Amino acid sequence: MRNIWVFLLLSSCTLYPRYERPCLESFDDWRTPLPTQNAVEIAWWKQFNDPVLNDLITKALTSNQDILTAIARVDQFRAQWKIASSLLYPQLQAGGVGNRQKVSNAMLTPSAVPNPIFNTFGAFLQASYFVDLWAEIRSGAEAAYHQWLASIDARQTVVLAIVSSVAATYVQLRQFDEQLIVSKDTLKTRQEAYYLAKVRHELGLTSLLEVEQAIAEAEIAKVQVERFEIAIAEAENLLSVLLGQASQDIPRGLGINELPMPPSVPECTPAYIVCQRPDVQAAEEQLKAANAQIGVAWAQFFPQINLLGAVGTQSSWLSPLLSGPSNLFQYGTSIIQEIFTGGRLTGQVELAYAVKCELLHNYLQTVLKAFQEVNNALTSHKYYLEMVETQRLRMEADKSYLHLSDLRYQEGEIDYLTFLDAERQYFQAQLDYEETKGNSFVSFIQIYQALGGPWVVEADKEVLQYKETCATPLLAPSS
């Protein structure tokens, strides 16, 4: 459908400059290339093998309020395009009139009709056509058309953001769950250590200092427990909003340590990014719309030509209303040429060019930002994968350090502070490991978010199909 209308809109002479995609210095590959073999491009979140996550994303696609708002916004721009395009066709109106009136007796002459009260009936058909010689209407319709396409791309940008946010927030929620378990286990261990320290102090084996240190360490662990309980509640609240529902408990699936890490990422060159990121496409459609508005501004310098015509009938009685003597007609043309406007027309042209210049730089900035986000996501993912292994080795070493310290402390070979140091390090290593693992999954999700691609189009189609099934009038087409 797009191609048909583009052909119709460009089939005649227009006054705006010919559009050419802006050139931007590109590069051959990303700063941190990653394996792309056998990468999944459609419904990539299913690679995590978590049915709960799949259900959450499906619900978000069908119930998220931002997506529903974007759908309605597309309908608005489609209606605006229809309004702008309607002036390309003749405008036809029909009407009728019937009234009873009395003429003042003082205005009657001797030769006038004796009865000053009479009826008037009429019917008419009127047509008008704006001769679009200078493509003012066609330029405005094309601008509205590209605004419509930009709103479709904006809807897909919302879909991209919602799917990515649901997946990333769910991963972080599972990360917080695991960190809460670690914190609760540590709190329990430290409370037991406090009890032992208190008993040892009562038996005169240790000083009060050891008891106070045990109390402080238990309180630190309790603070961590409360911190992750807050984080879990906030993550559930965010997911609830993304799902289009009031805040409530979110079901859980696989744990953060059970989720499989996909081995590769989708293939996409820097040159191809401008064709598959919906926000970049939306910025370009806005630029095309601004380019077409220049034609509207230039057309104001030329004569505006209207063809007018009307036929009808008029009578003082209903019976002869359709007879020959009652018929009437009118036709003609009107031409209006602006002569002096005090600089208004020139200002409109300057404004149109300035808007285009603004949207040109907005488009280039959007492309640069897209490159930045892809490079950031690829680099983060690569190093987070390495950090996961590093943190795992650190955690294992700290676990061994704690075990040996505990044995030597029980034998009286080291003091309590050395044992505490080992326990603190192991606790922090566990938390850091879970956080790094969560970040590795989030960075993987950010790669798909930064690249865009076919999965966004498919998810967008799923949104529209669901709305059609629910009998919601969707006027906007899928891209």
- Find the range with the poorest average confidence among 50-64, 219-233, 304-318, 432-446: 304-318
Strand partners, 124: 95, 312
pLDDT confidence band for 195 (50 / 70 / 90): confident
Q: What is the mean pLDDT of the chain?
A: 85
**What local confidence, expressed as pLDDT, does residue 3 receive?**
47
pLDDT of residue 9: 44
* pLDDT higher than threshold 70 for residue 474: no
Higher pLDDT, residue 67 or 34: 67
**Weakest-pLDDT range from 18-27, 202-211, 311-320, 329-338:** 311-320
List, for residues 34-62, the tens digit of each pLDDT value: 877 777 778 899 999 999 999 999 999 98
Cα dihedral across residues 373, 375, 378, 383: positive or negative = negative
pLDDT score recorded for residue 23: 82
Q: pLDDT tens digits for 212-250?
A: 888 888 899 999 999 999 999 999 999 999 999 888 899
Band of the pLDDT at 369, cuts 50, 70, 90? very high
Between 417 and 76, where is the model more confident? Answer: 76
Q: Cα-Cα-Cα-Cα dihedral of 277, 283, 285, 291, to 10°?
A: -150
Alpha-carbon span 215 to 198, nearest angstrom: 10
Residue ranges per structural domain of the chain: 2-87+134-178+235-303+343-469
Q: What is the pLDDT, as a whole number, of residue 175?
A: 95
Mean pLDDT of the 281-304 span? 91
Q: Which pLDDT tens digit goes with each residue over 371-416?
A: 999 999 999 999 999 999 999 999 999 999 988 988 888 777 877 7
| Range 243-269 average pLDDT | 89
What span, in angstroms and rounded, lies between the C-alpha atoms of 146 and 135?
16
Could you give phi then psi for residue 447, rounded to 5 degrees? Answer: -65, -50
pLDDT at 335 over 80: yes
Q: What percent of the chain has pLDDT over 90?
A: 42
pLDDT at 472: 47
Phi/psi for 113 (5° steps) reads -65, 130
Interacting residues of 162 by C-beta distance below 8 A, sequence separation 6+: 60, 61, 64, 66, 67, 242
Examine the pLDDT at 362 and tell me if it is beyond 50: yes
pLDDT at 1 exceeding the cut of 50: no
What average pLDDT does range 422-438 have in this prediction? 93
- 462 CB-near residues (< 8 Å, 6+ apart): 58, 61
* More confident of the two residues 446 and 199: 446
| Mean pLDDT (whole number) for 257-278 | 86
Kindly report which listed range (3-17, 325-339, 426-440, 456-470) carries the lowest average pLDDT score: 3-17
* pLDDT for position 128: 86
* pLDDT reading at 6 higher than 60: no
CATH 2.60.40.10 fits 2-87+134-178+235-303+343-469, yes or no: no
Report residue 91: phi and psi, to 5°: -100, 125
Distance in angstroms (rounded) separating the CA atoms of residues 158 and 166: 12
pLDDT (tens digit, 9 = 90+) per residue, 91-142?
888 887 778 777 666 666 655 556 677 677 777 788 888 888 888 888 889 9
**Whole-angstrom distance, CA of residue 214 vs CA of residue 198:** 9
